[in-house]
Amino acid sequence: MFRVMRFGDSKYEIMAQIAGIIGEDILAEADLRYLFPKMLEELGNGMIDAVCELGASLTKHDSVSYFLETVERIDEVYILPILKHFCKHSKFNFSIYINYLLDIVIGFMDHPNTTITAHIPETVSALIKPMPKEE
């Protein structure tokens, strides 16, 4: 599969495309792992799509664990949108993480920021969708 990157795309749009392709490598390779915290530093500048694509592209337990544990520690405004995207678009069978993810989501139930709580129903819905079978 080929993806076309246009010159007019912002660096964040290009990074989202790249993260979707090499997301596993970014988290698995010691030489590239430093990129993920750098991406998280730029969430407010438009890097959220790249982080979402990276998470959805992961296929290995170690990478998914590192991704989820790290996302849990970022600014709370971004946690649910990223987890929602991960749950909706991941091809990884994350059933072993459902309780962990539900604990994170439930932790936001009484949050005073309605922008954050607005993500709860769709995130829970994505969490309880049927899982793909692992090969």
pLDDT digits (tens, 9 = 90+) for 78-131: 999 999 999 999 989 999 999 999 999 999 999 999 999 999 999 999 998 876
Asked whether the beta carbons of 129 and 98 are under 8 A apart, the reply is: no
Tracing tokens 């170690």 back to the chain, one arrives at 62
Neighbours of 119 (CB within 10 A): 19
Residue 1 belongs to a domain = no
Neighbours of 49 (CB within 10 A): 20
Tracing tokens 């989820």 back to the chain, one arrives at 68
Q: What is the pTM of this model?
A: 0.83
Asked whether the beta carbons of 105 and 123 are under 8 A apart, the reply is: yes
Residue 42 belongs to a domain = yes
Tokens for 96? 């072993």
- Domains in the chain: how many in total? 1
Identify the domain containing residue 107 by its residue range. 12-127
